[in-house]
């Protein structure tokens, strides 16, 4: 049995997940990173690019190349982590996708709807179910074991975007999943939290960067800047460090003040 804590981060190869993985390594976690890409391509970086960054923090890194929407993979993922480390202290459900093409709610296609929900909601839900069962099995077996689960949803869990309906629905559904997991697991000492990022500068938002640059200029975000992946990673580390241990089910909106209603 590994004495060090182990964090599983989905979507760790780039963007928000990558920053979370690195900051958790700094906080003393060994890291399991999941994405569909192991080796970098000309289009996107793979998990192996993260290896040296994690190892530089004196943490062990296990990259797992899996598509979380293929839910048959969930048991394999848990087995591989347990075979390697014997424990999962933190699951960060970060992997997510946006619609390939934005289209009005009246034109949303069944294909795009199914694809987005398969990753953001269904895949994430069933991976969490499998990890939760493993956490429950270990709860009385590992000394000082206080496992946690974090769901990265979005302000879109609550804010309407008529051109990204399927994304909003997926994040709204995931928000409820976070709440129900928090409720179900609380009595066993397993906490669950939701983080809702606002506009974060990553590959996901690159196609709409110019549009939102202009809106930020016009005052869209009270703190007047794009969020960075590290803004989210800092909150994950704070939760992991136990600063919110009496607050299971809590929702953190990290959006530079977009939560403030203005008159």
Ligand X SMILES: NC(=O)c1ccc[n+]([C@@H]2O[C@H](COP(=O)([O-])OP(=O)(O)OC[C@H]3O[C@@H](n4cnc5c(N)ncnc54)[C@H](OP(=O)(O)O)[C@@H]3O)[C@@H](O)[C@H]2O)c1
Site of interaction with ligand X (CB under 6 A): 10-17, 34-37, 44, 67-69, 94-97, 119, 152, 154, 197, 199-200, 202-205
Which is closer to ligand X, CB of 12 or CB of 169?
12
* Helices of type H across 86-164: 110-117, 124-138
Min. distance of Cβ 10 from ligand X in angstroms? 6
Residue 53's CB is within 10 A of a number of other CB atoms, namely 15
Contact in structure between 66 and 38 (CB atoms under 8 Å): no
Which is closer to ligand X, CB of 117 or CB of 185?
117
Which is closer to ligand X, CB of 88 or CB of 263?
88
Start-to-end Cα distance in the chain: 56
Residue 204's CB is within 10 A of a number of other CB atoms, namely 15
Catalytic residue among 29, 66, 167, 193: 167
The answer to whether 167 is a known catalytic residue is: yes
Min. distance of Cβ 187 from ligand X in angstroms? 28
Min. distance of Cβ 132 from ligand X in angstroms? 19
Which is closer to ligand X, CB of 191 or CB of 202?
202
The SS3 assignment for 137 reads helix
Burial (CB count within 10 angstroms: exposed 0-12, middle 13-18, buried 19+), residue 243? exposed
Residue 62 structure tokens? 């296990």
* Best CA proximity match to 176, nearest among 198, 157, 195, 203: 157
Which is closer to ligand X, CB of 14 or CB of 74?
14
Q: How far is CA 51 from CA 4, 24, 39, 98, in A?
A: 18, 13, 11, 26
Min. distance of Cβ 55 from ligand X in angstroms? 19
Contact in structure between 11 and 34 (CB atoms under 8 Å): yes
* Helices of type H across the chain: 15-26, 48-55, 73-85, 110-117, 124-138, 165-185, 209-217, 229-240
Min. distance of Cβ 240 from ligand X in angstroms? 17
- Annotated catalytic residues are 167
């Amino acid at each position: 049995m590994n004495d060090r804590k182990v964090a599983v981060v989905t979507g760790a190869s780039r963007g928000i997940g990558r920053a979370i993985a690195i900051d958790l390594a700094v906080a003393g976690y060994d890291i399991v990173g999941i994405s569909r890409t192991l080796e970098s391509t000309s289009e996107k970086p793979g998990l192996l690019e993260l290896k040296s960054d994690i190892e530089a923090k004196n943490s062990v890194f296990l990259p797992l190349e899996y598509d979380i929407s293929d839910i048959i993979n969930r048991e394999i993922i848990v087995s591989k982590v347990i075979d390697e480390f014997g424990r999962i202290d933190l699951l960060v459900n970060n992997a997510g996708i946006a619609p390939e093409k934005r289209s009005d709610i009246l034109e949303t296609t069944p294909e795009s709807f199914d694809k987005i929900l398969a990753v953001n909601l269904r895949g994430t839900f069933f991976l969490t179910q499998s990890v939760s069962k493993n956490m429950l099995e270990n709860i009385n077996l590992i000394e000082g074991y206080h496992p946690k689960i974090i769901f990265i949803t979005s302000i879109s869990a609550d804010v309407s975007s008529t051109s990204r309906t399927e994304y909003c629905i997926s994040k709204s559904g995931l928000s409820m999943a976070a709440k129900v997991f928090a409720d179900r697991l609380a009595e066993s000492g397993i906490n669950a939290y939701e983080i809702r990022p606002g506009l974060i500068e990553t590959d996901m938002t690159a196609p709409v960067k110019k549009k939102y640059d202009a809106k930020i200029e016009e005052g869209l975000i009270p703190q007047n800047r794009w969020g960075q992946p590290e803004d989210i990673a800092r909150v994950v580390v704070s939760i992991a460090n136990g600063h919110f241990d009496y607050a299971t089910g809590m929702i953190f909106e990290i959006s530079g003040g977009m939560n403030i209603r203005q008159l």
